Structure 1
Amino acid sequence: MSRLETALAAIDAANALDPDTSEGAPAAALYGTRMSAELDRLFPGAPDVLRIAARGQHIERWTSPRAAYPEGREGYLAWRRDLGAFHARRVGEIMRDAGYGGDEADRAGTLLRKEGIKRDPEVQMLEDVICFVFLRWYFHPFAEGRDPAGLLRIVEKTARKMSAAARERALREFDLPEPFAAAFRS
């Protein structure tokens, strides 16, 4: 088994323990599989480090529930920051165990913490994949019962995180009603 296969299998084994099986499989494992499939579709031939970061994007996320943090924006941002650091640490451990060097593990951490979004092409690729996975698999369930104005703000934030090329592609691939589509054209 290659280093890449070893690392991906270790991430999958960790994520197989997610107790949320509401979609018929452990949620983190399903998310990781979706991330890998979307990465392969959007960026075929991506380097190993990006492949591993995509698969490990939500590694063991259930161990740090959002409810463990205060309500509101500050609590949300702290949760996201802590998750990024945790995911970077766990994926780095797995990579080193699979035979990757410290520099490669550190690079995966940079990607997972989203350091350099809009400036670092690989960080941006990962963010584009995350946004496509959200739009393809999670947007409709997320949107159910939400306030339209609040939902529009979330769609606008999602579009702002994406590269111009990804926004254009999203407009072609997803049937987004106005005013959501307008967020991807700006």
Structure 2
Amino acid sequence: MTSIVESNSPQPGPRLARAYALIDAANAEDPNRDQGQPKELLYGRRMTEMLARYAPEAPETVRVAVRAQHVRRWEVPRAGYPMDKVGYHQWRSGLYRFHAELAGRLAREAGYDEAAVEEVMIAVGKKQLRENPASQLLEDVASLVFLEHYMAAFAADKPDYTEEKWLGIIARTWKKMSSRARAFALSGAVVLPAHLLPLIRQAVAGIP
């Protein structure tokens, strides 16, 4: 299955192409759909496309990690954890472990050595954020993809959210991003939802 969202991405070498194929095959089994495609397959390709725009110099291990950010995410549903704040954080932690272990296994199957596999797992597992450039780069790309592709739909799905709640959501996303990613988001390089742009600018004003 091909997708237009990959059209600007650098051509991968054989090993990276193998990793992409394995990750895509895993995500192609997603029963959920987005624009007629398996949801996480489309998400992974959007992540790759955003990385190509934002940080085309990224090393292969980051490119693998970015593609595998949500690998088989539907297998760890939110409903499997208590529906409270503690349960939410337990779910997120469980997701990070699940994604990291599966991404590591697929990277190994693609032919990467154990040092590279460990780099992929650390990034996908969101470990050492701020200290580890690969983890922060993945977080940047995920935030940029959310702003461009998912924020408007998320807003439409939450009509009962107050402006204060939205300001908090946007501010939390912004705080996860590096200064480079923030500048990139506001430079015009990311397509931000026009009707939410005033709220975005209000939310990020004054955040160092």
| Same structural fold, with TM-score higher than 0.5 when normalized by the shorter chain | yes
1:10 and 1:94 in contact (8 A); partners too: yes
What are the residue-to-residue correspondences of 1:20-169 with 2, within 5 Å? 20-144=32-156, 145=159, 146-169=161-184
Asked if 2 retains the 8 angstrom alpha-carbon contact of 1:171 and 1:181, the reply is: no
Q: For the residues of structure 1 that align with 2:79 and 2:175, how far apart are their CA atoms? A: 26
CA distance in 2, matches of 1:103, 1:172: 36
Runs of 4+ displaced beyond 4 Å: none
SS of match in other structure, 2:126 = coil
* Percent sequence identity over aligned pairs: 40
The AA in structure 2 aligned to 1:59 is V
CA contact (8 A) 1:167 1:184 kept: no
Matched-pair contact (CA < 8 Å) for 2:170–2:203:
yes
- Greater alpha carbon shift after TM alignment, 74-83 vs 171-180: 171-180
- Which ranges of structure 1 fall in alignment gaps of 5 or more residues? none
Give the deviation of 1:172 after TM superposition.
Answer: 2.4
Return the alpha-carbon distance in structure 2 between the equivalents of residues 166 and 113 of structure 1.
Answer: 20
Change (3 A) 1:120 1:183: farther
* Match in the other structure for 2:197: 177
**Residue 119 of structure 1 aligns to a residue in which SS?**
coil
RMSD, aligned CA: 1.4
Whole-angstrom CA distance in 2 between matches of 1:149 and 1:11 = 38
Question: How big is each residue's C-alpha offset from its partner over 1:115-165, in whole Å with a ceiling of 9 and x where there is no partner?
Answer: 121222221111110000000000001012133221211101000000112
Matched residue type, 1:178: P
Partner Cα separation in structure 2 for residue 32 and residue 119 of structure 1: 24
Rounded Cα–Cα distance in structure 2 between residues aligned with 1:94 and 1:163: 28
Asked whether the 8 Å contact 1:49–1:104 carries over to 2, the reply is: yes
What TM-score, normalized to structure 2? Answer: 0.85
State how far apart, in whole Å, the 2-side matches of 1:50 and 1:63 are. 23
For the 8 Å contact 1:171–1:184, the answer to whether it is kept is no
Number of matched pairs: 186
Do 1:49 and 1:107's aligned partners in 2 also have CA atoms closer than 8 Å? Answer: yes
- Aligned partners of 2:84, 2:37: CA distance in 1, in Å? 30
Asked whether the equivalents of residues 56 and 87 of structure 1 are also in contact (C-alpha less than 8 Å), the reply is: yes
SS class of match (2:37): coil
Equivalent of residue 6 in structure 1, options 18, 27, 31? 18
Measure, in 2, the Cα distance between the counterparts of 1:108 and 1:178. Answer: 36
Q: 1:179 deviation in Å?
A: 4.0
